[in-house]
Amino acid sequence: MEMIIITGMSGAGKSRTIDTLEDIGYYCVDNMPAKLIGKFAELANQSEGSISKMAVVVDARGGSMFKDLGRVLDDLDRDHVEYKVLFLDCDNEVLMTRYKETRRKHPLFNESNPSLEHAIAKEREMLLEVRQRADYIIDTTHLAPIQLKEKVSAIFLDNVANGMLINCMSFGFKYGCPREADLVFDVRCLPNPFYIKELKFKTGIDHEVSDYVMSWPQSRELYQKLADLIDFLIPLYVSEGKSQLVIAIGCTGGKHRSVTFAEKLYQHLLDEDKKVTVNHRDITK
């Protein structure tokens, strides 16, 4: 049986995530008390195969019961119960905007946390330990709902035990470095197509731009060294039990050089039969 424990910041997209998992065949339970996870897994295992994939959401809505989650995970490890933890994260400012737009009350908004800002900060503090134990972290700060659905589907549509998911991401340094990145590479050292009139408003997905970027010997050498390094690192990460690897490649605006490199690395890993996705965070900005 596959079990996914979903947690993370309130407003980061847990409801959309569990809807997506339900669509791809998971038996889903929202707002489950942490102490019941083990019992629920036991019952599911006794269901004679009627529940082969389950996902539960455990978060700050559980109040004081959420504090039991760390001990529950320890118990699952001790009993050799297989599970994965998916953590949904998001920048504080974006969370505040989402709450103001929906006019919903944050679960930790009370006399001890008299403002939305205080409630979000308290929740982030509360979730620190479980975030460090997460197998998958998705930062939804810059994700549209459909992009979140695609990310979740890419991870869990297949069996979660079928290997590490690699995400090749392009981004622009002017918009900030992605927090979920495990490896960050800077390609701003390469010639910039932005200053070529015919290429300025195209992107690294267009062959004219990618051909220009890769026409330089330093670009080809850098790419080969990068691909060799990734090929060397992946088995090491797998042997350590890592479930997700986010490789972020950045240039100034996230439209030309970084997109070209992310696409080439994605195709390289795809050719090696790796479980890999690609996304371009800032390509439309």
pLDDT tens across the length of the chain (285 residues) = 789 999 999 999 999 999 989 888 899 999 899 899 988 888 887 876 678 889 999 988 888 788 889 999 999 999 888 899 999 999 999 999 988 887 788 888 877 778 888 889 999 999 999 999 999 999 999 888 888 888 888 888 764 445 678 999 999 999 999 988 999 999 999 999 999 999 999 999 999 999 999 999 999 999 999 999 999 999 898 877 677 899 999 999 999 999 999 999 999 999 998 889 999 999 998
What six digits make up the tokens of 205?
């997905």
Q: For residue 206, what pLDDT is reported?
A: 96
Report how far apart the first and last C-alpha atoms of the chain are (Å, whole number): 42
Our CA angle for 274, 280, 282, nearest 5°, is 160
Q: Give the E-state strand segments of 73-135 in sequence order.
A: 84-89
What type of residue sits at position 90?
C
Q: Give the E-state strand segments of the chain in sequence order.
A: 2-8, 27-29, 53-57, 84-89, 136-139, 165-172, 183-186, 244-251, 275-280
Q: For residue 49, what pLDDT is reported?
A: 67
Range list for CATH 3.40.50.300 in the chain: 2-156
Q: For residue 160, what pLDDT is reported?
A: 46
Q: For residue 100, what pLDDT is reported?
A: 83
Q: How far apart are CA 89 and CA 259, in angstroms?
A: 24
Q: For residue 28, what pLDDT is reported?
A: 92
- Report CA-CA distances (Å) from 208 to 121, 164, 192, 262: 46, 33, 13, 16
Q: With the C-alpha atoms ordered 191, 193, 194, 196, is the resulting torsion angle positive or negative?
A: positive
CATH topology of domain 2-156: Rossmann fold (3.40.50)
CA gyration radius, the chain: 21
